[in-house]
Amino acid sequence: MTISMTRVAHGIVMTICAVSILATAGCAEKVEKPKGRPPALVVTAVATQQDLPLQLKAIGTMEASESVAVRTQISGELIKVAFREGQDVQKGALLFQLDPRSYQAALRKAEAALARDRAILANARKDYERYSQLVKEGIVTQEQAEGYRTRAESAAADVASDQAALDSAREQLAYCTIYSPISGRLGVLSVNRGNVVKANDTVLVTINKLAPIYAVFTIPEKELSDIKRYMSAGKVAVQAEVPGSGGISEKGVITFLDNSVDQTTGTIRLKAAFENSRKQLWPGQFVNLSITLATRKNAVVVPSQAVQTGQKGQFVFVVKADATAEIRPVVAGTVLKGLTAIESGIRPGEQVVVDGQMRVVPGGKVEIKALEKPGIPAK
């Protein structure tokens, strides 16, 4: 009886152990079963079509369309300043007055000398006419008459000299009053009233014409053929933006293309004109320039962050209908306001990955976090 019970208990224990072993093996099999890779979490955008301008970028320096450094052409005391620094003036407006007294005296002296010599000339001519008649009557010789003719010619030369001196004196007196030669904005006054200025020595004030205004800039030599082609077809538009100014910008056109390439830098100089009616652009200011050569119609565009660069060139990840990612080589073109034109490789309507590319495996599953549009169409 005891032996039988012992054998039964032993059999039960062996059965339990076998079941435990099988259960353990089953658990081990479940743990060791490999799991699939989770989908990559990405942000996508849709490739769209829109008109995209073909542009060149440059940095330019503004300069006045006209600039005059006002100097006095005579020496004298500055007795009047007829403007305020920084004000706008029109052409012909009074700027300065120099003491005219010495020049008025010189003018009167020249007038007196001319009157005297004119009287001498008139008398010399009468004498010559009288002696010419006496020669005909045989009363005086021809030699005597020629002497009076010489005197008359000499007096005529004196009168001409006096007339030139008088004109010069009038001109000198006119220089005592200085008017604005152009319309524009006045700069800093260099000499105050009461100072004596010398002729052609000191710049009294500088006048800059701000409307229109020019931007001077350079472009690489390789862009020359495109610029020439588009300029020959019509006006080439330019937009100038002042960095850090909160959106100050002006529109203009290219008006000048230099006749040679700078061999040192490999660039060519251009000039663009802006109306600047609000006087937002200022001479000497640096501006960012966007030169619009043409507008590409219905270009396929994607957000610029979607375009990646690898060992074989540029590419994007395209999300297919089965939620897998395909690596797609592309040829990127113009970049404008966060958008990149795709010359080839992408069709309108396809979804491209714009964020999370580091987690994407070609052919692997992706999970779209949010669907975004490429952005606001460029104007």
State the pLDDT at residue 370. Answer: 57
Q: Cβ atoms within 10 A of the Cβ of 120, count? A: 16
Give the Å distances, CA to CA, from 245 to 185, 280, 289. 22, 10, 14
Domains, the chain, with CATH or none: 42-52+297-372 (2.40.420.20), 57-64+208-296 (2.40.30.170), 103-175 (1.10.287)
> Which of 297, 358, 313 shows the shortest CA–CA distance to 49?
297
The model's pTM is 0.67
- Phi and psi dihedrals of 347, rounded to 5? -110, 150
Q: Please report the pLDDT score of residue 258 as a whole number.
A: 95
Q: How many CB atoms lie within 10 A of CB 258?
A: 14
Q: Pseudo-torsion of CA 45, 48, 54, 57, nearest 10°?
A: -10
Distance CA 181, CA 216 (A): 24
- What per-residue confidence (pLDDT) applies to 319? 93
pLDDT value at residue 54 = 82
- Which tokens belong to 273? 């004109």
Predicted confidence pLDDT, tens digits, the chain (379 residues): 444 444 544 454 454 444 454 444 444 444 444 456 788 899 999 999 988 888 889 999 999 999 999 999 999 999 999 999 999 999 999 999 999 999 999 999 999 999 999 999 999 899 888 888 888 878 878 888 788 889 889 999 999 999 999 999 999 999 999 999 999 999 999 999 999 999 999 899 999 999 999 999 999 999 999 899 999 988 999 999 998 877 788 999 999 999 999 999 999 999 999 999 999 999 999 999 999 988 888 889 999 999 999 888 999 999 998 989 999 999 988 887 788 989 899 999 999 999 988 889 898 898 887 555 544 443 3
Dist. CA 325–CA 136, nearest whole Å: 124
Q: Given this model, what pLDDT does residue 48 score?
A: 92
